[in-house]
Amino acid sequence: MEASRLRLEIGGLVQGVGFRPFVYRLARELGLAGWVCNSAAGASLELEGSDAALEGFLLRLPREKPPHAEIAHLEVRKIPARGEGAFEIRPSLAGEKTAAILPDLAVCGSCLSELFDPADRRYRYPFLNCTRCGPRFSILEALPYDRANTTMSGFAMCEACRAEYEDPRDRRFHAQPIACPQCGPRLEYWDAEGRAPAALEEALPCAVRAVREGKILALKGLGGFHLIADARNDAALARLRRRKAREEKPFALMFPSLAALREAAEVSELEARWLQSAEAPIVLLRRRAAAGLSTAVAPGNPYLGAMLPYTPLHHLLMADWGFPVVATSGNRAEEPICTRESEAWERLGGIADAFLVHDRPIARPVDDSILRVMAGREMMLRRSRGFAPLPVAVPISRPVLALGAHLKDTVALGVSNRVYVSQHLGDLQTPQAMAAFAEAAERLQACYETRPESVACDLHPDYASTHFAESLGRPLRRVQHHHAHVVACMAEQGLEGRVLGVAWDGLGYGPDGTLWGGEFLLATRAAFERAGYFLPFPLPGGERALREPRRVALGMLHEALGPAGLSDFKGPLRAAFSPAEWRLLREMLEKGLQCPRSSGVGRLFDAVAALIGLRRVQKFEGQAAMELEFLCEE
């Protein structure tokens, strides 16, 4: 029977998920010849064999693909047969880079079984992985996703790992970060003076002992450092808060197991699924009355931000500790998380009592993602590890770089009808944060070898991201903050045409020069009309009012009562100010000095919290609104 040959071009999430080994095994099973390789756009393959075998391959490809693979588009064309008799995996092809990058994946069940199996050669090895799990985005330096383009390129495979890597029957067949104790990364422990134990195998026991003794451990993990402390130890957490200058903002927790977490918090079936998923985010959970945790974990907060171990290293540590730990980002206030040992020693040296590090470089900082289940569905609060940089489908004709706002920033690259969204970058308040922001923007462009023709930035003229956009010397598209929110929701939900979008937040710069934030917009992707909004009121002191809800409340009262009414005001709020402060702020309001007007719903929450005496000065952004929500839930 005469053979036929097909050429397939596949785009989507097909690199780093075991897709080529899957194609190899399926083709061999069906008796097909040809080859498969990574391409700049995803994967390319040619298949040769009977028409029945080729048809069977095309039917089974989408149905049996690896669990983390996603086929966004598939192009099939018939080409002349070549008479090949075997199927192989070939080196990657060059071309325009549009392949989706896989996020980092939590350790899979098979690897976890090996981790705790004394008979396995990777027993208690902190860096084991396979095609189903392990580091991806945090180690990737360039596309396509090959070992040479990752931070594992400096680790030469031993003979045993090489044999697994080249064996089509092995689940580590072409697993790019493959490693073992003989050839892979290693741990090292330092005390506060930088001294390390003589034997490398003592690193893990030393770290376990340090936390048990109440010390603060700086742990180099998957996408950066965590600061670890015993979540039951009041003194340890008080030191951590003092050293990190984090007075009341809640700490994230890591629990040894789902069973242990259920003793401290209420966990629904959906929340449990997310906690145990490959993405393994932090999930906000309602805490139990007898949680057995220090009150310093989340002062005055009825919720816990909890996660389960997601790397082999975390599993080893948590199994040895057997109790929940604080696992907060390894940084100082308003700075990005540390990723390099030297950087951590310099920036975390005054916070941590000990360090557990390793020699696998981290290509970029990747914070933990945060998720909350509301009304029976998940709501993403921080999109980072496990999710970034997965793309959103948006019709884009020309490459564009989008630089976000000022707080909770991310950057994004639009190319070939997809928007690749970076990991969470945080607030652009410090030089270190700006350096990380600039690096993320540059590396996203470098990864896809794309120089955008234009740059999108926030309409606010004073944002650091706006200044950065202006410095690039490319055509600018200044986007109104709340229009961006609405269009982002449209893209996420696949909506076209005109919509009524409701965008409520703290503030965003409006075209009229006031601070918007309680918006009803009739919007398309290209334009909007302001259909309605909350009545604006003044914020005495501008940015300072964002930290002091009492000032926001005073501005709202001035708007509602007028100067005369405010002069006669005798409510409890007046006691929140000294007589001199009261006089000065009233004068500022009457003269309109440093009193920008805002319609932000977030500021409305702040004002109500201050008026009822709940929170008049914030220790962290959003605290007043959170406490108002908690009060309403009681």
pLDDT score at 152: 97
Residue type at position 204: L
- CB neighbourhood size of 289 (10 A): 5
pLDDT score at 96: 67
With a cut of 90, say whether residue 542 has pLDDT above it. Answer: yes
**Dist CA 494 CA 455 (whole Å):** 23
pLDDT digits (tens, 9 = 90+) for 215-265: 999 999 999 999 999 999 999 999 999 999 999 999 999 999 999 999 999
419 and 494 both lie in a single domain: yes
Cβ neighbours of residue 267 closer than 8 Å, sequence gap 6 or more: 258, 261, 275, 285
Please, which residues bridge with residue 596 across strands?
Answer: none
Residue 618 near residue 247 (C-beta atoms within 8 A): no
pLDDT digits (tens, 9 = 90+) for 608-623: 999 999 999 999 999 9
Domain assignment of residue 372, yes or no: no
**Dist CA 571 CA 14 (whole Å):** 63
Domain assignment of residue 524, yes or no: yes
pLDDT score at 255: 98
**Dist CA 364 CA 348 (whole Å):** 18
CATH of the domain at 514: 3.30.420.360
**Dist CA 542 CA 595 (whole Å):** 6
- CB neighbourhood size of 93 (10 A): 13
pLDDT digits (tens, 9 = 90+) for 324-377: 999 999 999 889 999 999 999 999 999 999 999 999 999 999 999 999 999 999
CATH of the domain at 155: 3.90.870.30
pLDDT, average across residues 77-94: 89
430 and 512 both lie in a single domain: yes
Domain assignment of residue 377, yes or no: no
Which sign does the torsion angle of CA 137, 142, 146, 152 carry? negative
Domain assignment of residue 371, yes or no: no
Number of folded domains that form the chain? 5
Q: Is the pTM of this model over 0.85?
A: yes
Domain assignment of residue 522, yes or no: yes
Residue type at position 489: C
**Which of the listed residues 137, 153, 185 is the one where a domain comes to its end?**
185
**Which of the listed residues 489, 507, 533 is the one where a domain comes to its end?**
533
pLDDT score at 326: 98
pLDDT digits (tens, 9 = 90+) for 448-500: 888 899 999 999 999 999 999 999 999 999 999 999 999 999 998 989 999 99
pLDDT digits (tens, 9 = 90+) for 23-80: 999 999 999 999 999 887 889 999 999 999 999 999 999 999 998 899 988 999 999 9
338 and 452 both lie in a single domain: no
pLDDT, average across residues 551-564: 95
Please, which residues bridge with residue 508 across strands?
Answer: 516
pLDDT, average across residues 417-430: 93
pLDDT score at 95: 67
9 by Cβ neighbours in 10 Å (0-12 / 13-18 / 19+) ranks as middle
Dihedral of the alpha carbons of 137, 142, 144, 147, in degrees to the nearest 10: -80
344 and 205 both lie in a single domain: yes
CATH of the domain at 64: 3.30.70.100
CATH of the domain at 597: 1.10.357.160
Q: Where in the sequence is the domain holding 23, given as residue range(s)?
A: 4-89
The pair of three-digit structure tokens given for residue 469, joined into one six-digit string? 């956009």
pLDDT score at 301: 95
